[in-house]
Amino acid sequence: MGGARGDDRAIIRQLLLFLSDTALRWLEELLSNQVHDWTDLVRVFEGNFKGTYIRSSNSWDLSKCKQKSGETLREYTRRFSKQRTELPHIPDHDVILAFVSGTAYKDLVSELGRNRPQTVDELMDIVANYATGEEAEARR
């Protein structure tokens, strides 16, 4: 049980501590001749659970968030921000580009072109001010 095979078996035993009940039951029912090393375990595990894996989103997914017809800027910003919170590792630059390409407010895009935000916080400050002005105009 020395060498890499011994290491693989130790890793597999430790893995039992971290599996969900479903994965643990699956592993217990697995035929002993299917897994001989870590590579085998990864192969059969992925093959069994691949369909249940929720793919993490990326900046491409955020860029698909477009303002809907009739949706106010505040509503769009909330929806965009909610989706962004599900994508924590997207650089500010990509978030800003996605928001600008997704909004239907041409005046806001012009404002963002003149006062180029460098961070998402700066973007949201400009957007909040613009939305407040839009709402004030609507109340008149």
Q: Average pLDDT for consecutive 10-residue bins of the chain (140 residues)? A: 56 72 80 76 80 65 91 93 84 94 93 93 92 83
| Closest to 94 in 3D by CA, of 65, 51, 67, 68 | 65
Q: Answer yes or no: CATH 1.10.3470 is held by domain 59-139.
A: no
What is the reported pLDDT for 41?
A: 79
The structural domains of the chain, with segments of one domain joined by +, span 3-52, 59-139
What is the reported pLDDT for 8?
A: 64
What is the reported pLDDT for 94?
A: 93
What is the reported pLDDT for 12?
A: 64
What is the reported pLDDT for 20?
A: 77
What is the reported pLDDT for 100?
A: 95
What is the reported pLDDT for 57?
A: 63
What is the reported pLDDT for 56?
A: 57
Amino acid at residue number 129:
N
| Closest to 109 in 3D by CA, of 119, 96, 120, 90 | 96
Contact 35, 44 (CB under 8 A): yes
What is the reported pLDDT for 1?
A: 39
